Structure 1
């Protein structure tokens, strides 16, 4: 059982499929000049008969012929009926998804606008990156949803009728093209110009659009799952009594909606891939199994997406955004978040600030650092790193640095400096030595080393980190000063969302035509 299947009740289940097949037969009878009045009659098909026929159409036609007089099914084949019926189901599912995606877009637009200035920690590859805003994150989710809406709109208005007869020639119909066009018109579908019994692009296009919708919802759900972890706590699903409990841990409040939407996004691509596999094996004039494997995959995908869109709409409309926690987390992570600085600096400078970590410094964990590896850092040997290595240095390894001696390293070796070695460095005096004269560091000399600041040395000044260089880089140490064009991007997402809405504030696109038109057709 799919959790939340009640949200898609009556759209793609077996009863809905039978109703849609009846609607197709009624429309085709009308093309042939017969009016079928079925009222609310929907037959119950015997699974054994469905198995014997290989599909549900023949048992349906037999039941229909037993109930009504007149021409039924003449000129059609089972695939014409079932493919057309599936398009009607798809239309109803897309209509439901479209309504929920509109809700999601509206809620995300509100969050993006409200939190355009709510600073939070950006994260890349699971680690702190640079400051962003929650408004920007919501705007990115919004753009994904808007793309999904656009793709579903394109597919929805082009859902095709299937009409080809036994082998795709419509040989039993006097005026095939006119009949097919009229057939499509009665069903509110599109006549694509020829049958598509073994050309399954209409199915794969539909499936791809639905999968991309699930992608957009899935990335949002996955982000919310991360942000809602107790150790982060920046968002929380809205409270609903009885939802999210645990059978063994009463303290838990599980993010059920996010979990289910994420689950749908993980399942959908497999169903979409199955549609493509079936399309690639649709051989001859009518497929021998590929078509049969397609129906359950398409119906499962539509149900999954309808349910996920409904759950996602409820999720974002009730989302609790904890901007105060975001701000606190960003402040706590400031040393990491501010590590991207204009002209760049050694991240070792921030490794000492507030618990930030320099990946190169982390290489010293586990008992020591391999000097051969460290010697590759930045094209040479980083004395700021090597000088701290576990009690001493291997002078044999460190004797060479670019053809000369590294006086910074030797100056720190076990209590003294060998002036005989250090007197010569490229023909002159080593500023690194002079910088140590008088028991301290000479900032003017250090500032000239390599054309910039050696952050490893600056980090040692006065027993801590010199914040002055930070304050001069890229706007200071306030995370909010690092937001770049975040607000511009938020505005662009909001502009795009507004552009799809009519001046009245209603949906830009007209409502999709419902497939539930009833089973009684009368002449115009």
Structure 2
């Protein structure tokens, strides 16, 4: 087994999404930092700071240079960051004529942070695409089952009938809000990190701002009004968004795991894991992973937030703390989205079982409806007391609630009509339509 469950050849496939995981492999980290170094040289040449010939040579070297990650290990252990060792190899590869212009005026954090942002931009694109795919699946599920009654459950107890379509629409509504937040997340995250040694780009003199602008344009990143070396709320905002996403996915997973229990069996996840000894078991692995990841990300987010306590113009300890936490949050979010898409895509909705659950309650799920029907013929407190007494009799005798109420009251109520759970789903249809309209509006904005 690997040093973490993400790295393990045994558990890695369960907990990581390959495309997201690839962004955190050593070769991807090195490639992103070299991309920044190459763009920096070209930006500085554009502004007349270094010779154009050297900039082209450095950029070409950055594109073709293959650095073995293990060759950076000793330097990273000594310096606390891989950039000095990387720059040394880049200078050697660029040749003595151009070596002095490599990494001109930058600091390790500029290269490391900006490389991270380039990789996170790709991660965001992957996660947004997965979110949109999942939203589309949930929109279809909500519409298809708007008229499928299910027992609503509050505090783990049966409450009243509702629509399974509304349940799916509620899941969808959370995802839509996460998608709506993305523009703001991107505007605060996708920023160039470029401050030089102490954050003021003093080594670049009067051309500092021009280089910054040019470099940001070359990398297609925004420019922060001030360096964000030690005020890293954009990263933490992004991590919070990831935790919100996995929290919603964890809620969906929780509902599905509970509904898939043998004694309820109102949904079937469509696949699952087996037991080493019990042939009858089909374990809801996808839903369980969603719950586990949601809890992990919530905990890691609290640890990551502690990295906000940065000292002065650069913090080594808190920077390292980010490396220990943020990648795990990103990796597990990719995995959760993959699991959720598979789970919803294969979900079997057992409408007949849902209706049977309501019917086997002997009318107890319709107690609220009964009290409101009686309240048209007597004071509401009196109606509620009557229904509460009738519920006790139902539990004692197994008689249907409405049959008990017929014997306790002569109110002219069409009890047979009230038995249909489809008549008790309230404004579900309207609510589903509102969520689907929001989905369609968001989809048109793409």
How far residue 250 of structure 1 moved from its aligned partner, in angstroms, is: 2.1
How far residue 355 of structure 1 moved from its aligned partner, in angstroms, is: 6.7
Residues 78/330 of structure 1: CA separation in 2 closer, same or farther (3 Å cut): same
Aligned-partner Cα distance in 2 for 1:316–1:4? 18
Q: In the alignment, which of 357, 364, 367 is matched to residue 329 of structure 1? A: 357
Q: In the alignment, which of 30, 42, 57 is matched to residue 66 of structure 2? A: 42
How far residue 473 of structure 1 moved from its aligned partner, in angstroms, is: 8.5
Aligned-partner Cα distance in 2 for 1:470–1:152? 55
How far residue 130 of structure 1 moved from its aligned partner, in angstroms, is: 1.0
Residues 168/149 of structure 1: CA separation in 2 closer, same or farther (3 Å cut): same
Equivalent residue number for residue 393 of structure 2: 352
Between 55-64 and 228-237, the greater mean CA deviation after superposition: 55-64
Equivalent residue number for residue 333 of structure 2: 305
Q: In the alignment, which of 103, 122, 134 is matched to residue 104 of structure 1? A: 134
* Aligned counterparts, 1:212-227, within 5 A: 212-227=244-259
Aligned-partner Cα distance in 1 for 2:442–2:241? 18
Aligned-partner Cα distance in 2 for 1:320–1:60? 52
Aligned-partner Cα distance in 2 for 1:479–1:57? 65
How far residue 296 of structure 1 moved from its aligned partner, in angstroms, is: 2.6
Contact residue 261 and residue 308 of structure 1 kept, 8 A: yes
How far residue 466 of structure 1 moved from its aligned partner, in angstroms, is: 4.2
Number of residues of Structure 1 aligned to a counterpart in Structure 2: 399
Q: In the alignment, which of 302, 317, 328 is matched to residue 273 of structure 1? A: 302
Aligned-partner Cα distance in 1 for 2:303–2:397? 46
- Any gaps of 5 or more consecutive residues in structure 1? 358-455, 503-507, 510-524
Equivalent residue number for residue 38 of structure 2: 26
Equivalent residue number for residue 142 of structure 1: 172
Contact residue 115 and residue 134 of structure 1 kept, 8 A: yes
Equivalent residue number for residue 151 of structure 1: 181
Residues 72/345 of structure 1: CA separation in 2 closer, same or farther (3 Å cut): same
Aligned-partner Cα distance in 1 for 2:155–2:172? 22
Contact residue 97 and residue 309 of structure 1 kept, 8 A: yes
Q: Say what the alpha-carbon RMSD is for the aligned residues.
A: 2.4
Equivalent residue number for residue 197 of structure 1: 229
Residues 129/467 of structure 1: CA separation in 2 closer, same or farther (3 Å cut): farther
How far residue 255 of structure 1 moved from its aligned partner, in angstroms, is: 1.1
- The one-character-per-residue Cα deviations of 1:431-472 (angstroms, maximum 9, x if unpaired) are xxxxxxxxxxxxxxxxxxxxxxxxx9x9989xx954765946
How far residue 40 of structure 1 moved from its aligned partner, in angstroms, is: 4.4
- The one-character-per-residue Cα deviations of 1:286-317 (angstroms, maximum 9, x if unpaired) are 01301111123111111111111111111111
Equivalent residue number for residue 210 of structure 1: 242
How far residue 42 of structure 1 moved from its aligned partner, in angstroms, is: 3.0
Contact residue 210 and residue 305 of structure 1 kept, 8 A: yes
- The one-character-per-residue Cα deviations of 1:201-240 (angstroms, maximum 9, x if unpaired) are 111111111111111111111111111111110111123x
Aligned-partner Cα distance in 2 for 1:14–1:105? 32
Equivalent residue number for residue 232 of structure 1: 264
What is the TM-score of this pair, normalised by structure 1?
Answer: 0.72
Aligned-partner Cα distance in 2 for 1:143–1:54? 43
Q: SS of the counterpart of 1:128? A: strand
Q: Does 1:480 align with 2:422?
A: yes
Aligned-partner Cα distance in 2 for 1:501–1:356? 53
Larger RCO, structure (CA 8 Å, separation 6 or more): 1
Aligned-partner Cα distance in 1 for 2:80–2:212? 25
Equivalent residue number for residue 495 of structure 1: 437
Residues 92/166 of structure 1: CA separation in 2 closer, same or farther (3 Å cut): same
Q: SS of the counterpart of 1:283? A: coil
Q: SS of the counterpart of 1:214? A: helix
- The one-character-per-residue Cα deviations of 1:249-306 (angstroms, maximum 9, x if unpaired) are 2221111111111111111111222221101x11111013011111231111111111
Contact residue 17 and residue 334 of structure 2 kept, 8 A: no
Residues 310/40 of structure 1: CA separation in 2 closer, same or farther (3 Å cut): farther
* Aligned counterparts, 1:122-137, within 5 A: 122-137=152-167
Q: In the alignment, which of 184, 197, 218 is matched to residue 186 of structure 1? A: 218
Greater share of residues in helix: 2
- The one-character-per-residue Cα deviations of 1:147-186 (angstroms, maximum 9, x if unpaired) are 1112234313441110101111100113222211211111
- The one-character-per-residue Cα deviations of 1:102-156 (angstroms, maximum 9, x if unpaired) are 1100000000000000000000000011110100000000001111112234313
Q: SS of the counterpart of 1:501? A: helix
Residues 310/59 of structure 1: CA separation in 2 closer, same or farther (3 Å cut): same
How far residue 477 of structure 1 moved from its aligned partner, in angstroms, is: 3.3
Contact residue 349 and residue 465 of structure 1 kept, 8 A: no
Contact residue 332 and residue 354 of structure 1 kept, 8 A: no
How far residue 476 of structure 1 moved from its aligned partner, in angstroms, is: 2.5
* Aligned counterparts, 1:423-462, within 5 A: none
Aligned-partner Cα distance in 1 for 2:124–2:397? 48
Aligned-partner Cα distance in 2 for 1:355–1:324? 27
